[in-house]
Amino acid sequence: MSNQRIFTVTELTRQIKLILESSLPDLWIEGEISDFTWHRSGHMYFTLKDKDAQLRCVMWKSQNQHLFFTPREGTKIQARGKITLYERGGQYQLTVYQMHTVGSGELRMAFERLANRLREEGLFRQELKKPLPSYPTYIGVVTSATGAAIQDIVRVISERFPPAKIILRPAAVQGKGAAEQIARAIEELNADGRAQVIIVGRGGGSPEDLWAFNEEKVARSIFASHIPVVSAVGHEVDLTISDLVADLRAPTPSAAGELIVPHKREIFALLRALRDRMIKAMQAEITARRGLMTGFGKSHGMQRCADLIVQRWQLADQLAQRLRKGWGNLRERWEDALKARAQQLQAMDPKSVMERGYSVCRRLVDLKVISDASDLCLKDAIEVTFARGKIEGSVSHIEAYVLRDMKNGGRDG
């Protein structure tokens, strides 16, 4: 015993972990899910079992977010992963990287190939999802005109939000040509322009029945829609490519109606809350204004209101008196100035000059006023106007005065 090495529990567990994990490669295991837990951290914990044994499994959030179905109790699956040892519990487990349901065959492989390709292209990116309107009044629906899905959608929406109107674009939802009709109906609703949100879906069925919603042309028409699209295909456990591309996935068609329109009770409650807020705001404003007016009424200025009015009247009378006096003075100055101008004009009046013995002589041929005798010739007919009366005659003698040019010193005369 003294020569044998003694291991701690931790050391032995690590040795077993090293041997176990290094000796077993990645492998596929088939079994039935039980004890399934989807932790709030995003990790999945469950057990795979058959009739004789069971195996604990874990699938981390980074891996399970790429699943194309939701695991459920009793679902038979095939899982690929690696055997690991959880040291703290001393228990081996399968760390799962990939899993799918058993029995889907070629459809499952086609589904995964298309889904992986579309994911790489970015058609599933969460940041590209368009928000839904809060109160849509026009709702487009792409589904069978005779199926249960349209009946469920109409019933739920009419009960929850009566103002909403349904615009149905009927399309085959399974069989040959269904994918083309669904894609074309989505394009028509976008071209119409009235719908504010579009529901695309149908009721439950087998994977083959739902396959039209896994077609690439449907996925691309949903992605290209400028109107938000809600995918409501089958039941909650069913997952299609349309669900992954759509702006919102609804578990069922009736659930789609519940997700896109509010209930009238919520609207009434909101309106009542807004009304109460408005009433409280108005009451508070009235109270504040009433307090303000009360304060004005008690102020010194308001108490002397009558005195202030009398003072303003008195001031108005004083201003009116000053205005009248100023206007009178201005008018007197204007009158004096006018009288002075009148006297100047009167003094310059030719008649006043002529009253002092002067007269005006004109040559009759052109009525030119003659101020220089040299402008006349003998026998010119003239007219002489006096202060009172005038005479006509002819020139018989001219005696002219020659003004000597002061510049030439008077040499020319």
Rounded to an integer, what distance in angstroms lies between the CA atom of residue 112 and that of residue 109?
Answer: 5
CB 253 within 8 A of CB 201: yes
CB 260 within 8 A of CB 140: no
Rounded to an integer, what distance in angstroms lies between the CA atom of residue 333 and that of residue 350?
Answer: 28
Q: How far is CA 134 from the centre of its chain?
A: 15
Rounded to an integer, what distance in angstroms lies between the CA atom of residue 347 and that of residue 329?
Answer: 27
Q: 66 phi and psi, to 5 degrees?
A: -100, 5
Q: 32 phi and psi, to 5 degrees?
A: -105, 135
Q: For the chain, give the longest Cα–Cα distance.
A: 184
Rounded to an integer, what distance in angstroms lies between the CA atom of residue 38 and that of residue 176?
Answer: 38
CB 70 within 8 A of CB 101: no
Ranges of each domain in the chain: 9-103, 132-262, 273-300, 349-413
Q: How many CB atoms lie within 10 A of CB 282?
A: 10
Local confidence pLDDT in tens for the 413 residues of the chain: 567 788 888 888 888 888 888 888 889 999 999 999 999 898 999 999 998 899 999 999 988 877 767 788 888 888 899 999 888 878 889 999 988 777 655 677 788 888 888 998 999 999 999 999 999 999 999 999 998 999 999 999 999 999 999 999 999 998 889 999 999 999 999 999 999 999 999 988 877 788 899 999 999 999 999 999 999 998 877 788 999 999 999 989 999 999 999 988 888 888 899 999 999 999 999 988 888 888 777 776 666 677 777 788 888 888 888 898 888 888 888 888 888 888 877 777 777 777 777 888 989 989 888 888 888 898 889 998 888 888 898 988 888 765 544 444 444 43
CA distances from 152 to 86, 182, 231 (A): 48, 19, 15
CB 212 within 8 A of CB 111: no
Nearby residues of 64 by Cβ (< 8 Å), 6 or more positions away = 42, 43, 44
Task: Give the helix/strand (H/E) hosting 355.
Answer: helix 350-355
- What is the amino acid identity at position 336? D
CATH class entry, domain 9-103: mainly beta
- pTM confidence score: 0.51
- The reported pLDDT for the residue numbered 188 is 96
- The reported pLDDT for the residue numbered 78 is 87
Nearest by Cα to 111 from 229, 17, 238, 202? 238
CB 203 within 8 A of CB 234: yes
Q: How many CB atoms lie within 10 A of CB 32?
A: 16
Rounded to an integer, what distance in angstroms lies between the CA atom of residue 367 and that of residue 152?
Answer: 117
- The reported pLDDT for the residue numbered 96 is 93
132-262 has CATH 3.40.50.261 classification: yes
- The reported pLDDT for the residue numbered 43 is 93
Q: Residue with structure tokens 């009116």?
A: 320
